[in-house]
Chain A
Amino acid sequence: MADFIQQIVGGLGDGAIYGALALALVLIHRATGVINFAQGEMAMFTTYIAWSLMENHGWSYWPAFAATLVFAFALGVGIQRVVIAPVANASVLTVVIMTIGLVLTFNGLAGLIWSAEIRAFPSAFPNETWQLGDVSISQESVGTFGVVVALVALLWAFFQFTKIGLALRASALNPEASRLVGVRVGWMLAVGWGLAAMLGAVAGMLAAPSAFLEPTMMQAILIYAFAAAVLGGIDSPFGAIAGGLLLGVGLNLIGTYIDFVGADLRLPVTLLIILIVLLVRPAGLFGKTVTRRV
């Protein structure tokens, strides 16, 4: 039983990371109808920035964390303006290819600048456990979970109570009408990309202590985030977080209690989850079913 609870807590920690990245995917999908395949690589790249600030320039953790978020935001805005906006009206295939181009660019740049060597990334939380009876709870899992929850709350407040948040929601919902009332929709989309890149950076920095920093670090996590977003409903922000937590806990339990799966088959199981959800309930657990007029 103690083991079971520990697996759940660990799963919540991992799941929070998947949820954060999934939320980034959902933000972009809601605003522009695109799935950003480069979300993981952008997160990896910004995590390297944080690492470089700490390792090469002697910054301490939290200032580096904050500076990385600012950098990530600027990166997201820049990419949307330079690469994505010019093809906004092109076919899905074109936009997918653009994001694939970004995947290759960031993956390669990280290798060029920092080499493919595996780096240790410090954790913001002590590598210790709390003892509750038989159950030992990792402080890192709890801390990770807490950071993501706080972030989501902040983001929710931003969308709900600020003017920019309102404009962001409006331009995602109805771009034409928003433009008519004076919202600069193009820039709002760019801000959406910036926020998504920030979320990705947080996911990357939280994942790096246990996943270790290397250019391929986020590839598997991106697949988990896809699964989380699909599971929760690709248009539902809270669904993304819930899907992430559910997936994190589910994968941990399956990995522990089904010997056949173990640690090796986590990705194939995730693929199965993606396929099953898309085939059986394409709107996900919390998404709205969309009916299309033809």
Chain B
Amino acid sequence: MNRRNVVGTLFFLLAALAVLLLPQLPWVSDFRAQQFAYVGIYFIALLGLNLLTGITGQISLGHGAFMLIGGYTTAILMSEQDPPLELAGHQFTGDMRDIWTIPIAGLVAGLAGFLFGFPALRLTGLYLALATFAVAVAAPAVVKKYEGFTGGGGGINLFEAGTRTKATSITDPVTFEETRIPIKILGIDIPTFNEWLYYLCWTIALVMFAGAWLLLRGRFGRSLRAVRDSELAAASSGVNLARYKTLAFGISAFYAGVAGSLLAIATTFVNPDTFPITLSIFLLVGVVVGGLGSLWPLVFGAIFIHFMQIEWAQRTEAVVPDFLPILGNIDTDAPGAPAVAFGVVLILIMLAFPGGAAGLVRTLRSLALRGYHRAR
């Protein structure tokens, strides 16, 4: 093993340890654990989108559609609707426990991505962006149409499903004392659903991160980057463009599918609005914030898109200029606040730090190294 790999492995182990310990810290509440679980979900989706857009150079404005496929696969397999959902005569009556649906959701989405990769072969640049955008806009309409299979616009509620992992509690009929029954995994008790969710999402995120790292460090990753930098040069060096592009689509959609599946488990409910067009756009924002073509800095992108949606954007009040009220009343709790903040930050990042968080880290590191050498 060379030095780079040793350092990389060490960092990975440290990160894994940090992930493991985080929810045990006294100031990380159950609620925070849930939020960090969502960050893990976005991280997985960003890894996938980055593989396609950042590494292979194929723009996708429709990755939410692959998350939708993953999310619905999980929801349908777990569902205990009345009347049951049905496809080609098969009725879904809570066939599968939640965690076993995750790989299936990934594979179904991956297959969809791989197949979409074939028409996408003939589309380059802007046209691909346009086609994927149209896919994301059109997907919810298709879901609403096949009501018997997908639950239509009303969606699928998983909260009461017996296939769902949950921490329960029993109240003693005599003493009215409540006993919590924790979730047991490998003999370890995990007291709450949110904590379980956190460990589930981050275990999968770490595995998929390691997978992406292994996949991209060798010949395969080099070929993908070659496709991005110059298709002509890549093809003349013997890179099979069709194979690598469709594979990149497939793998990327696999990641998105797993993320969508976890999102369904986390929200215990899916409907077409769980995966709106803005989700696809936020994912792209996340990749840009993390840094196109980077790997671990995508965590920053995931943190950004999650916390921007739920908390930070509400604090933009101070930033909205005072002259705007001539147009009407401004309400920063209005649904538009996150979008404005996202949009402005996205534009500013592209203008000022096109490398995103990864670029910033690189700059800081080279500055530090230069200072270090000068001091010696």
Q: Is the pair B339, A107 in contact by a Cβ cutoff of 8 Å?
A: yes
Contact across chains for A270 and B134 when beta carbons are under 8 A apart:
yes
Q: Out of A35, A94, A103, A266, name the residue touching B126 (CB < 8 Å).
A: A35
Q: Is the CB of B144 within 8 A of A93?
A: no
Contacts of B338 in A (CB 8 A): 108
- State the CA gap A237–B295 with chains docked (Å): 43
A166 lies within 8 A of chain B by Cβ: no
> Are A270 and B138 interface neighbours, CB within 8 A?
yes
Scoring B residues 31 to 69 as 1 if CB is less than 8 Å from chain A, else 0, what string do you get? 000000000000000000000010001010100000000
Fill in one digit per residue for B272-287: 1 if any A CB lies within 8 Å of its CB, else 0: 0000011001001100
Interface of B is mostly: helix
B369: Cβ under 8 A from any A Cβ: no
Q: Contact at A264–B145, with CB atoms within 8 Å? A: yes
The reply to whether A108 and B336 form a contact with Cβ atoms under 8 Å apart is yes
Asked if B350 contacts A268 (CB within 8 A), the reply is no
Stretch at the interface among B213-221, B260-268, B341-349: B341-349
Judging by beta carbons under 8 Å apart, are B334 and A104 in contact? no
Q: Which residue of A lies closest to B328 (CB)?
A: A113
Q: Which of B96-104, B117-125, B171-179 contacts A (4 or more CB under 8 A)?
A: B117-125
Other-chain residue from A56, A104, A282 in contact with B281 (beta carbon distance below 8 A): A104
Let me know if B192 is at the binding interface, CB within 8 A: no
Is B332 part of the contact surface with A, judged by Cβ < 8 Å? yes
Beyond A92-B125, A101-B350, A113-B330, is A215–B336 a contact (Cβ under 8 Å)?
yes
Identify the A interface with B (CB < 8 A). Answer: 34-35, 37, 52, 56, 83, 86-87, 90, 92-94, 96-98, 100-116, 215, 219-220, 223, 226-227, 230, 264-268, 270-271, 274-275, 278-279, 282, 294
Which residue of chain A has the shortest Cβ distance to B141 in the bound complex?
A267
Which of B57, B141, B232 has the largest count of A CB atoms less than 10 A from its CB? B141
Chain A residues, Cβ within 8 Å of B232: 294
**Is B145 a contact partner of A107 (Cβ separation < 8 A)?**
no
A-B contact pairs, 16 of them (CB 8 A): A93-B292, A94-B350, A94-B354, A103-B343, A105-B340, A109-B340, A111-B339, A112-B331, A113-B328, A113-B336, A115-B334, A223-B134, A264-B145, A265-B142, A271-B138, A278-B122
Residue numbers in A under 8 Å from B334 (CB-CB): 111-112, 115-116
A100-B336 in contact (CB<8A): no
Is the beta-carbon distance between B346 and A104 smaller than 8 angstroms?
A: yes
B320 in contact (CB, < 8 A): yes
B312 part of interface (Cβ distance < 8 Å): no
User: Does A56 contact B328, Cβ atoms closer than 8 Å?
Assistant: yes
Q: Contact at B137–A267, with CB atoms within 8 Å?
A: yes
Q: Which residue of A lies closest to B134 (CB)?
A: A271
With both chains docked as a complex, state the minimum distance between the C-beta of A145 and any C-beta of chain B, in angstroms. 25
Contact A230 B324 (CB under 8 A): no
Considering the complex, give the chain A residue whose CB is closest to the CB of B316: A112
**Contacting pair B347 A223 (CB below 8 A):** no
Question: Within 8 Å CB of A90, what residues of B?
Answer: 354
Q: Which residues of B contact A267 (CB under 8 A)?
A: 134, 137-138, 141
Are A275 and B138 neighbours in the complex by a CB distance under 8 Å? no
B337 in contact with A100 (CB, 8 Å): no
Per-position 1/0 for B127-142, Cβ under 8 A of A: 1011101110110011
List 3 tightest A-B contacts by C-beta distance, closest first. Answer: A111-B336, A108-B339, A105-B343
Contacts of B351 in A (CB 8 A): 83, 86-87
Q: Are B339 and A98 in contact (CB under 8 A)?
A: no
Give the residue name and chain of the A residue nearest to B281 (CB): A100
Q: Which residues of chain B are near A115, meaning CB under 8 Å? A: 331, 334
A92 x B59 contact (CB < 8 A): yes
**B→A interface (CB under 8 Å):** 53, 57, 59, 61, 119, 122-123, 125-127, 129-131, 133-135, 137-138, 141-142, 144-145, 232, 277-278, 281, 284-285, 288, 292, 320, 324, 327-328, 330-332, 334-344, 346-347, 350-351, 354
Q: A52-B327, A116-B334 are in contact. List 15 more A-B contacts (CB 8 A).
A: A56-B328, A90-B354, A96-B129, A98-B350, A100-B281, A100-B285, A101-B344, A104-B346, A108-B340, A109-B336, A112-B337, A113-B336, A264-B144, A274-B131, A279-B122
Binding site secondary structure of chain A: helix
CB distance from A41 to the nearest CB of B (A): 9
Point out the residues of chain B lying under 8 angstroms from A108, CB to CB. 336-343
With A and B bound together, what is the CA distance between A115 and B334 in angstroms?
Answer: 6
Interface pair A101/B347, CB less than 8 Å apart: yes
Q: Which of A100, A227, A268, A271 contacts B284 (CB 8 A)?
A: A100
Q: Which residue of A103, A105, A278, A294 is within 8 Å of B131 (Cβ)?
A: A278
Task: Tell me if A112 and B137 are in contact (CB < 8 A).
Answer: no
**Which residues from chain B contact A34 at a C-beta distance below 8 Å?**
126
Nearest neighbor of B346 in chain A, beta-carbon distance: A101
- Closest Cβ of chain B: how far from A276's Cβ, in Å? 9
A34 CA / B127 CA spacing, docked (Å): 10
- Residues of chain A lying within 8 A (CB to CB) of residue B119: 275, 279
Rounded to whole angstroms, the CA-CA distance of A100 and B334 in the bound complex is 21
Known: A101-B344, A104-B281. A268 touches B320 (CB 8 A): no
Q: Assuming the A-B contacts A52-B327, A93-B292, A97-B346, are A35 and B129 also in contact, with contact meaning beta carbons closer than 8 angstroms in the complex?
A: yes
Q: Which residue in chain B gives the minimum CB-CB distance to A112?
A: B336
Q: Which residue of B lies closest to A35 (CB)?
A: B126
Docked Cα-Cα span, A206 to B70, in Å, equals: 39
